[in-house]
Structures are given as structure tokens and as C-alpha cells.
Structure 1
């Protein structure tokens, strides 16, 4: 039977969506098949993708169920059935529908009712009974928004007593949206008062802030300018424009939505000009009274701040203010940034190991791509490292940086001209919290360093000149070289100012790894630097090497690559069983290429007798148990290989790309091996998710090198 967690509450406004997302993340780290069930929905949410939280979970975790299969009844159907047959009939139907979904999954997340305009007399009791009937453990969430410490503690204790009295298995209690200054006091008192763990999640303005898109929907606004990323910006406040430009500009705040009559083109252009200059970056401009600027003004506005939303409503400023004032942020499929913020908050303030143990959910033997990605992020977050990104103004790098910071995975150093990077952030509507005060011991931080202007340039010039003196390098020449971002970033890693570097979204592989060869150099015992890819297939993770660095390694180099790759596999939770690939298996073939692989296999066994290694072996015999049984019966590796070593770069590079495209595998890498400290290369076609994964892997490598 699927292990189930029932997330519920006691009233509206508890921000429970962040907890639901956090629990889903926790479950999906442990098992492959996690299902979601919403017992009761509102009538207007019956159409596919109508429930925003369910749809956000479906999209993020690639759930195969249709929306209609993930809910039980509408509140109207509950009321009708209860009137005709009683509450037992309602519960019976919901339990039956739950089990239809649960039988196809290893774990279930059940989303309790929302306490919003429902017609269930005892909604808390209804949720408690339903949790008991489906055999789910309960995780109650209590909202602490604008409440004092005494009130929050009392509400959590009462909620625990209520669910406990109704026979529920309570995993823990969560107080959400608690003012940061009250967090420690609430935590201390609840620890003394409750027999179960309690977790306190502080209020996060980025979660409670509505997006521009929400304001468009709530006000039936017309979008005059702006793209999807602009509409996804958080609105952290409102500035109502009526003053002249000099006075008005002083009132602007970071992330504000400017609200001004549509005939004030001066304030529109002034706001966007200030945004473009990054002083400060705004969320957008809302024009009232149905007044639309002429096309000349709009064209100028579009050039000043590309992507920044300009929207128009028919109402006046007073009515508009009333309509937008009570809007709160929502986690939706269209706004993954809020999901990242919610997960970062949950993982920072909830002891996920303790909660997992209380759920008693055994980790699946299979490793899916999502489970591998979760594992890497989790390990990186557990001992946060500082990663330098030389391509500090590149859009994909900045978007990846925002995800990494919101999830508290790593601290970051962005290299480049500060004015250029800040302008780019403003244009993209990306918030890295550069100017916000936060506790570096808990929240991940980002800083910008301009290599050309940095105080470190002179000392780095001296260091580089000393390292390359045998090549005739002078301090004067070095002064220009170290201003190059990849060299500067590599020297930061060499000096211990950063723990690792990730580059390559714009730079070539050579530009990324040449400084590493010159400055960081190979690790003790490593003959060469090589690379591997973590190939995340549907049901397992394989390691491919070398697919990016060495064109035609000899037998000794091939053995070195195999040993490095086995160590990389083990470092990331993949049990190393090494297959030395060739076009023949065992003793069936001969020739120079096969002999090279045979000799490399002998050297691996000689250097690392503890490793399971087989070679020469063909790819099918390495990964397919049926073929292995025919070609190499009794082999401990054949049919079960996890580390596949290709004889040359041509074979490795083409194979990884073929598997990636034809099998839909997620290829994480290339990850460089054999350096004293981590420097990793990106493909110039890298997606944001690729950059996030590579940075997290670099952080884990840095933990090991420390």
C-alpha cells in the first residue's frame, strides 16, 4: 500500500501550498512514483488544469495522471450526497477514488480542503476522518500571518489537540508565515509543549507578493507591453504616481508596480528609464482610466525596458488600489520562480531528514533523473559552497543563479561589469537579492565582482606570473590576462576565495579548461584531466566517459579515465561497475583498438583491485542482462554496468548525444575529473536546468576536495 501524507490546515490564509510543494519534493526524492489526490474541489475547478496547485505539481513533477483523475468530488456533490445518503457515503466514495490513484503509486500526497467558502460544517473533522480512512499520516499547517507569539503557539497547540483527539497519526506541526522576529520564540515554546516535531516557516515577501500576471487577471487588464518573464515578476509594493518626475523618482522602490493615469506619459517613460538604469528595477507600470499612450510613446517605452510590463485598466487609481491591495502570491505552473522560493523556504526551515524518517519511506532502488537531480541539490545544500560564474551577464546563467539562490543551494560570485549585470537583471526581471540584507549563515548570497576593477587583480597577476614563469610570463603580461573572466575565476578557485568554477555557456571548452590546466593543474595521482556525463535514463543513472576532452587516449590514459569515472560515480551515489567498451567482447576480437582496451582493463585491475571492471566489452553486453548471459556468463559487470568507458572521444561524444536524443535521457555534464579543485564546462547550448545541475555537482565536488 502506498505511504500517504495528508497536508491539511485549520483555516484560510495559511500559505499551505509551500508546504504541499515541499512535501512533494521530499517524497519524490525517495521513490519514483508519487501520486497526488485532492479529495474535494470547487465546482469551477473541474476542468483539466483548473486547480493551480495540482497543476503546478503535475507540471513540475511530470505526473502522468489527468487532472480529473486526481480529485474526488466537488463541494456541491459532497453537499448533495451528504443530504441524500449521509457523510458516510461521501467518505466512502472519496476513499474509493483515492485508492484508484494510490494503487498505481508508491507514495501519495493528499491535499486537504482549503477552508474557502465550503459547505462542510466540520471541515477540520472531515479532513481528519478522511486521513484516517485512507491510512495517511497528517501534517497540519497553521497560519501565523500578522499574529503574535502567544496566538501562534495557542493555535498550533489547539490544532494538534484537535487532530490528535480525532485519532490522527500526526507527523509534525507546521506554523507558516510567521514573522521572522517571532520565529525563535515560537519554536522554543512549541518544542516544550508538543510531543511531535514542530517546524516554523517565516513569512517570505517573495511568496506572498502577487505577480504582474495575477494583477492582470484580477483587474481584467490589457497588456500593452511585456513578455512572459516580465509578467511573472513579483510585485513587492505599489507607487501611485501623481507628482512631477523629480519627486516621483524618489518614491520608486525595488519591485514596485507604478500605478498612474494613462495620460501621464512622462511618468511612464520616467519609470521605465529608471528601471533600465537599475535604480531601482520595478515590476512594471499599470495605467488607469483606460487612457492609452500614443504609439510613439509605447515604442519608446518598449526600447527603454524590453519585456517590462505596461498594462492598462479602465478603472481609476482608487478603485484599482482596492482591487490589488489584497492580492497575494500563488504558486502556479506559469510562475516556477515562486515554486523555487517555496522549496528553498521549506528546505531551509524543515528538518527533511527527520520528517522523512517519521514518514518511514524507504528509498526506491531505482534512480530516476528527478531523483538524481534532487540528490545532487540536497547534498550541495547540506554544506553550501561558493561557486564563481564567469559569464555573469548571460541570461541563462542569471536565471540559473536565481534558482540556485532561491533554493539555497550555493553562494555565487558573478563576474563582469556591475552596471552591465545589474542592467541585465533589471531587463530580465530577475531578483538575486543583491541589495537586501539577509543572514548569510542561512540564506544563499550572490555578489558581483568586476575582474578589471577588483582589488584582487594585482595579486592574481603576481600569482599567475609565478605559475607561468617557465613560459616567460611577466607580471605586466599577466595583468591583462587575469582580467579575462575565466582566468580571474580560476584564480579565485586557486586562491580558495571560491570553491569551484562553472563556465562554458558562452565560452568555448578550451577557454574554460585551459586556465584550469595552467593554474589548478591535475590532482595527485591523476595523469590527465578527463570528463564524464551522468546519463539519467528512465530507471537508472549511468556514467559515460570520456565524451568531451581527450580525443584518443592511450591504454594508460584510458585506465586513468576509468578510475576517475568510477570515483565520480561513487561520489554521486552510483555503485561503480566499470565496462571498458570496444567493438568486441572478451577474447572474441583482436587488433590495435581492442588491444588498447584490453591493456587498459588490466591496468585498472592492477591499480584498483577493489573495482569491478570488465573489458573489452560491447555496449549491449555491458547493459543488457540477456546479451550478457550469452556473451559473458558469470561476469559481475556484464549486463549491470554503471560506468561506461569509451575508447575514444569520437565514440563517446556521439554515443552520449545519440542516447540523449533517442532515449530522452537527461545528460548532466560534462563534469571534469582529475583537477585539484573543481572547474566544470557547460555546453554552449546548455539549458537553465543544465546550469543548475552542473553548479550543484561542482559544489559537491568542492565538498569532497575540502
Structure 2
């Protein structure tokens, strides 16, 4: 395996930080211990290094990941020469390399440095480190001819200096030129070339950056509001009707502080969802009175209202050079950058060229990366019935930015748009398909007014006529978001459904029992949790659905859980748990587990299964050697089947909280089509993981 990848540019403005982030994401999917090395640093802070350390939980001290500052490098080179400078940096790199499986090297930034030829300097370091080089060429505001020429020149420059070039990346290319540039470079290049189009969301500054640049005071707004992207500055001085025509999604309105009419009018338009604003910046040091500010806070809660002492012209001058940046303080921009990289770079090809072999140790982060990567292989459509719930909307934005799947949000469209606007979220509901037509997209459907309601009512009435259901009653039933979403899945209008953030488990899965029903060969619907421990992933079943399964049902749960484990890359070794191991105990509870184990062996002789067995004997080799020596499962179990819901639910929560495990699920199994439930305490990342799992289940169902 190559020890390191060196990302280098040929100048400023190439947006290589997004590429560095994308490469780090790729490396951490396969390797547990990834290091980061920045040869030269502009103190006091490095936003990209801080972002990568925090996002990927790198526990290496910062000082060990930095060579030296630019000033120190300039002084050392002047005193002792270039060779001594390079030698010192190589020593620093080697010390880090010994602690890691692979290293991402962040090249110099071409900004206010005293290095005469930075490209040659980066090439020299890459050769001394033994790194593969990934050059990034910026295409912002350049023609297709210019981009093609610069990529070719950069490739020749690095290869002439003896570098092993991994691939070439043309970044921030005009969307209309992407295909032309890709075709021309691919035809003549001996290494892969990836062309990434410019995305205004990445270059857009955040409201927080506006605050820093202008020294503005935050009159109103919360942290999520300050994280909004500013896509456009609109300077308001006209009457309100003319101003409203000028506003667009993501605008920051800049207006004198005495124009309360424009402030309230713009926020009212934002609250209506058209258009959703980034915020308002008031100039001239004029502050609206408290009545106006109170009204503004009620109209658009969370939306930033800022005030600066400067006039409009100096404020405009300050804002004109402001550009967005990736940082740990702005996770939304990070998700956008990763989504763009993964959409336009063949990560499988790049992984193969780096010669990454997957680590035997599976960390929670690696497992979650794998989920997103697999979900992206084929865009499925997942319906989210709770379309106005904050966590669902925030998850939807992440899923769309990462191109995980297409989404259908259920609810009144105006209410969904207003809620998204209040939260400052960009779901791309009005975006026209263009160069990124393969990117994930979202839509909103209102079950009450949808033309689908009538046909769904007829179908549901037919399914439930044995219960006395009529079309008239069914029309009311299918207007419920859970039933409407389930009908969409059943009718093939969506590939899967995820609900439960605000609905009970019963409200989520009852429609699935009635409409989708169990798959052939499954006697019951059950669930599993993927328990991501520090060094492995275990599968727990059933900890969410069946209160007290009998022996036959327990055997079914074990077989279903083994299948689910295998489909998600966990080799199934089944332990049916009890308070007794082997033949050491007796009684109804133990006998149930023993009978279930025999049934699994009878039905699926190909599966490795042990039971009854205690938890410690199932997962700890030393205990297993004493209690069940010679068992192919004891001490190595990966699928743990609990005898009842009480035991399973309590155990998964105890392990989650006490061992710091990441619990992904519950994942329902046994249904004909994928429907999954959420815990009502689910976090945004939990929802993202569950939607990704549902998309993967839908892919597998489509292939079957």
C-alpha cells in the first residue's frame, strides 16, 4: 500500500481544500490510522487541518502533524540552504509516518511565501516522502482551453520532476465546460483526470464570515442562522415591491438601519418560504427600535439580523472579496464539498490506484462511510413522512449534499418550505436539472391534496375489505403521512420509507404490516441494531419489535439477522443468548433458546450458530475457551440474538451508553419492501445512517 498521498496545487484559488477533504474521506473508509502532515503552516491557525482533525477524530498531537511555519522555513533556507530545509521536513514527516498506516500530505498554499518555486518544492517533498502526487488545477473563471492547457502543463511539470502522479484534478471548472474539458483531457492523459464543476455554495461565505469581516453586531439569530451560506448580496434602498423582485435564495439584504419597512418585508417573504434569505445586514450604525426587532424575531425566528457602523459603500467593498472556506465550524459546507467530490471523482478507481486494502478492524466511522458509499451506487427514492420535523429536514440536507439518495418529503408544501427557510436549509426544491443531473434531488408531496390519494384509497380499501374498509374511510386513512408513504413504497413510487422521529414505532410499522406484509419465508417482522464498537461491528436482534418471541419466531429472527448482517458486510456467526451456556442450565427460558438453536441448524445448516450461550462467552475468547472450548462461534460471535425484547432493548442501550458504541437502527427485516423505524430521540447522523441503510436494502430488493 502506498504510504501517502500528496495533494498539491499550482497556484491560489484552486479550491484544493475540497479535494483534500475528499481524499481524507476516501482514506478513512479503508484505513483505521490515517495521519495528516502539513509541511509548512501560516500561524496561528489552519482551518483545513483543524477540520480534518475534528471530523475524522485524529488523536495525534497537532505539533506532530506540522513541519514548521513559513517564516521558520524561510529563515532556515536562508541560513543553511534548501537541502537542510527539506531534510528537516523529511525527518518530521518520517516521525509521523511511523505512527500511521497512511498519510495525507497537504501541500503549500502559494500565499505570501518566500519559496521561489513552490511547485518544484512540493514535487521535491513528495519524492522525498515517497508520496503519490495528486495535483489540483483551478479552473475558476477560465475558459475550457485554458483549463485543458494548465492541466497538461501541470502533469508535465510534476512528471518531469520525477513524481509519481496518482491522477489529475481540474477543480472549479465552469459547469457548461465540464464535459468538454473531461473529454479532451481523458483522450490524451495517461492517468485518470477528474473534472469537478464550480459550486457557488462552496465559494459562498457564511453569515458568520460576514460578521467577522464587517465587525457587525448580531441583533437577532442563532448559531444555525449564522452558518447559512450567503449566495448573493442585495443592497436595498428601493420601495418594498421592487426589493422583493431582487431577492433570491440565499440573499443577504444590506440596507440602512432605519428602513424598518424593508427589514420586516424581507423577513416576511423569508418566513413564507419564498425566497429563503441568509439574513439582513443593517448599515450606518442605525438600530431598529425594540418593537421592530421583536416583530422581526417572531416573523423569522433564528434568521440573522446584523448591524454595522459602516455605510453601504465601505460595507460593499468589504463584502466584494469575501469567499467561503471549509472549516469545522461549518459542517454543511463540508457535506457539500464531499458530495461534489464523490459525484465527480471515481473513488473506486482512485482507491485502486492508491492500492488501499481494507483494514480488518472496522471502526464506527468506517462502517458509516461504507453505508454512504454503497447507498450512492444507485440513487434510490426514499420517502420521509415527517417532512416538517427539524431533524428530518437537517438530515435531508446532508443526504442531498452527499448525493446519498433522492428524497420525497411528505407534508403541506408551504409548511415544509417555511420550516426549511426558518432553519436556513437548502433542499434544492426549485433547482432545475443541469450539469449535475445525476445528483440527488428532493420533492414535496402533500398527502391531503395529492392526486395519488384517490387511487391509494381504492387500493387500500381493496386490501382491507375483509375488515369492512370502504373507499370513503380509506381516503381518510391514506391521508395520514405514514399510510401515504407506505402506499408509495407498495406502489413502486418510492423505494423505501423511514419514519419515527416523531411517530411511535406502532404508527410507523402498522401500515407496513397491513399493506406491504412479510416477505416469502418470513413468519414475522423483526429488527436489528448495528452496534459499532471501537474495533468491530456487532448485530443485535431483536431489540425493538417482538416482546416475547417463541422458539420458532426466535429461530426466524436469528436467520433474518444473519442475512441482514451478511448483506452489510458482517460475517454472520450467530449466538442465541441466554442466562445459561451449553447444557449448564434448564428451565422454560433456556429450553426456548435451545429449541430455537436446533431449528436454525435444521433450517440453515450452512450457518454457524451456538446457543444457549451467555453474552460474555459469545464475545470474549478467554471466557469462551473455558465455557465452550472448540466452538466455532463462542468468543467470535457477530450476530447476537436476545431471548426477548426486554433483554435486547436494555442491553443495546447499556452498551451504547456505557461503551460509547454507535447504534445504527433499528433496521426492520422480514418485510417485502424496506420500511425502517427511528428512535424518537434519533440524532441527525442516526437518521442519515438509517436512510442510507434503507436505500441499500432497496438496491438489494431491486436486484433480486
Deviation, structure 1 residue 242: 0.5
Contact between 1:521 and 1:676, CA under 8 Å: does it hold in 2? yes
Structure 2 unaligned segments of length 5 or more: list them. Answer: none
Q: Distance in 2 between matches of 1:438 and 1:32?
A: 38
Contact between 2:2 and 2:354, CA under 8 Å: does it hold in 1? no
Match of 2:516 in 1: 520
Contact between 1:2 and 1:103, CA under 8 Å: does it hold in 2? no
Q: Distance in 1 between matches of 2:224 and 2:152?
A: 42
Deviation, structure 1 residue 265: 1.3
Q: Distance in 2 between matches of 1:586 and 1:236?
A: 65
Equivalent residue for 1:502, pick from 498, 512, 515: 498
Contact between 2:2 and 2:131, CA under 8 Å: does it hold in 1? no
Alignment pair present for 1:664 and 2:657: no
Describe the superposition over 1:591-633 as per-residue Cα deviations: whole angstroms up to 9, x where unpaired: 1111110110010011111101111111001000111111111
Match of 2:696 in 1: 700
Deviation, structure 1 residue 366: 1.0
Match of 1:40 in 2: 40
Match of 1:355 in 2: 350
Q: Is 320-329 or 638-647 further displaced after alignment?
A: 320-329
Match of 1:31 in 2: 31
Alignment pair present for 1:321 and 2:316: yes
| Secondary structure at the counterpart of residue 174 of structure 1 | strand
Q: Distance in 2 between matches of 1:76 and 1:614?
A: 64
Alignment pair present for 1:443 and 2:429: no
Match of 2:565 in 1: 569
Equivalent residue for 1:338, pick from 333, 352, 355: 333
Alignment pair present for 1:468 and 2:464: yes
Match of 1:602 in 2: 598
Match of 2:22 in 1: 22
Contact between 2:134 and 2:169, CA under 8 Å: does it hold in 1? yes
Q: Distance in 2 between matches of 1:101 and 1:518?
A: 58
Superposition pairs of residues 533-682 of structure 1, within 5 angstroms: 533-682=529-678
Q: Distance in 2 between matches of 1:19 and 1:580?
A: 46
Equivalent residue for 2:295, pick from 300, 303, 313: 300
Match of 1:56 in 2: 51
**Normalising by the residue count of structure 2, what TM-score does the alignment of the two structures yield?**
0.99
| Secondary structure at the counterpart of residue 382 of structure 1 | coil
Match of 1:492 in 2: 488
Deviation, structure 1 residue 676: 0.3
Deviation, structure 1 residue 192: 1.9
Q: Distance in 1 between matches of 2:494 and 2:128?
A: 53
Deviation, structure 1 residue 441: 4.5
Deviation, structure 1 residue 138: 0.4
Contact between 2:255 and 2:312, CA under 8 Å: does it hold in 1? yes
Q: Distance in 2 between matches of 1:312 and 1:441?
A: 39
Match of 1:13 in 2: 13
Describe the superposition over 1:276-300 as per-residue Cα deviations: whole angstroms up to 9, x where unpaired: 1112111100111111111111111
Describe the superposition over 1:488-528 as per-residue Cα deviations: whole angstroms up to 9, x where unpaired: 00000000000000000000000000000000000000000
Contact between 1:622 and 1:628, CA under 8 Å: does it hold in 2? yes
Q: Distance in 1 between matches of 2:459 and 2:508?
A: 19
Contact between 1:577 and 1:642, CA under 8 Å: does it hold in 2? yes
Contact between 1:2 and 1:108, CA under 8 Å: does it hold in 2? no
Match of 1:479 in 2: 475
Match of 2:205 in 1: 210
Q: Distance in 2 between matches of 1:630 and 1:254?
A: 66
Q: Distance in 2 between matches of 1:302 and 1:100?
A: 54
Match of 2:268 in 1: 273
| Secondary structure at the counterpart of residue 637 of structure 2 | coil
Match of 1:73 in 2: 68
Deviation, structure 1 residue 66: 3.0
Equivalent residue for 1:373, pick from 347, 362, 368: 368
Q: Distance in 2 between matches of 1:104 and 1:393?
A: 47
Contact between 1:2 and 1:106, CA under 8 Å: does it hold in 2? no
Q: Distance in 1 between matches of 2:53 and 2:216?
A: 28
**Normalising by the residue count of structure 1, what TM-score does the alignment of the two structures yield?**
0.98
Describe the superposition over 1:352-402 as per-residue Cα deviations: whole angstroms up to 9, x where unpaired: 010001100111011110111011111110011000000000000000000
Contact between 1:614 and 1:638, CA under 8 Å: does it hold in 2? yes
Deviation, structure 1 residue 105: 1.2
Describe the superposition over 1:259-312 as per-residue Cα deviations: whole angstroms up to 9, x where unpaired: 111111111111111111112111100111111111111111111111111111
| Secondary structure at the counterpart of residue 104 of structure 2 | strand
Equivalent residue for 1:311, pick from 306, 309, 333: 306
Contact between 2:267 and 2:299, CA under 8 Å: does it hold in 1? yes
Structure 1 unaligned segments of length 5 or more: list them. Answer: none
Contact between 1:2 and 1:102, CA under 8 Å: does it hold in 2? no
Q: CA RMSD in A?
A: 0.9
Q: Distance in 2 between matches of 1:81 and 1:418?
A: 63
Alignment pair present for 1:141 and 2:136: yes
Deviation, structure 1 residue 438: 2.1
Q: Distance in 2 between matches of 1:532 and 1:396?
A: 22
Alignment pair present for 1:226 and 2:217: no
Describe the superposition over 1:13-39 as per-residue Cα deviations: whole angstroms up to 9, x where unpaired: 000011000000000000111111111
Q: Distance in 1 between matches of 2:404 and 2:3?
A: 28
Q: Distance in 2 between matches of 1:94 and 1:354?
A: 31
Pairs aligned (count):
701
| Secondary structure at the counterpart of residue 105 of structure 1 | coil
Q: Distance in 1 between matches of 2:460 and 2:592?
A: 38
Equivalent residue for 2:451, pick from 447, 455, 459: 455
Deviation, structure 1 residue 67: 2.5
Deviation, structure 1 residue 68: 2.5
Q: Distance in 2 between matches of 1:177 and 1:51?
A: 22
Q: Distance in 1 between matches of 2:285 and 2:162?
A: 57
Contact between 1:2 and 1:105, CA under 8 Å: does it hold in 2? no
Q: Distance in 1 between matches of 2:206 and 2:459?
A: 48
Contact between 2:3 and 2:103, CA under 8 Å: does it hold in 1? yes
Contact between 2:2 and 2:132, CA under 8 Å: does it hold in 1? no
